[in-house]
Structure 1
């Protein structure tokens, strides 16, 4: 399912226009100014009971290896977005 499929499904499930559904999807999932991205960049978790939790995971600095040359390289510490599925979502998939 891609973004346009999600917009279509939301529009039919919620009884809204595709334009309204598109704005809702953009407001929630936009990587630059979406609700979830804004909460994560502000250091917060987004927990949707039964569905899952979006959070930021800190990755420590470490040494890595270039697979082509075998040369050791330093990989800097970074923050990464992560999603952990909730029990309801896991049960629905299984």
Structure 2
């Protein structure tokens, strides 16, 4: 398990090495391949759903008018695609329970 902080690719690979028994190189390659496939799917406009964990969802936001908070001047905000994450109910329950 990782101490409080940020979970990194190296942490995931180390976990695979310890718990599954893959070599460190194979574990690192596996983590990279999974992340690569997730990124490729998202770049093609596909959502990514990992059962029991959550979903990475792409949303298109339309053009809108924003305001510069310092000057109050209205400025147009260009349309864009944003990536959101929605945790599964199982993940939310684990987070609320503390582990």
Superposition TM-score tier, normalisation by shorter sequence: 0.7 to 0.9
Give the distance between the partners of 2:37 and 2:44, measured in 1 at CA. Answer: 11
d(CA) in 2 for partners of 1:69, 1:25: 46
| Matching of residues 66-85 of structure 1 within 5 Å | 66-85=68-87
State the match for 1:90 in structure 2: 92
Q: Which runs of 5+ in 1 are unaligned?
A: none
Tell me the equivalent position of 2:51: 49
TM-score, scaled relative to structure 2: 0.79
What TM-score do you get using the length of structure 1 for normalisation?
Answer: 0.82
CA distances 1:15-64 after superposition (whole Å, capped 9, x unpaired): 111111111111122xxxx1111111222222122111112111111111
Correspondence for 1:22:
28
- Which moved further from structure 2: 81-90 or 64-73? 64-73
Paired with 1:11 and 1:57, the residues of 2 have a C-alpha distance of 36
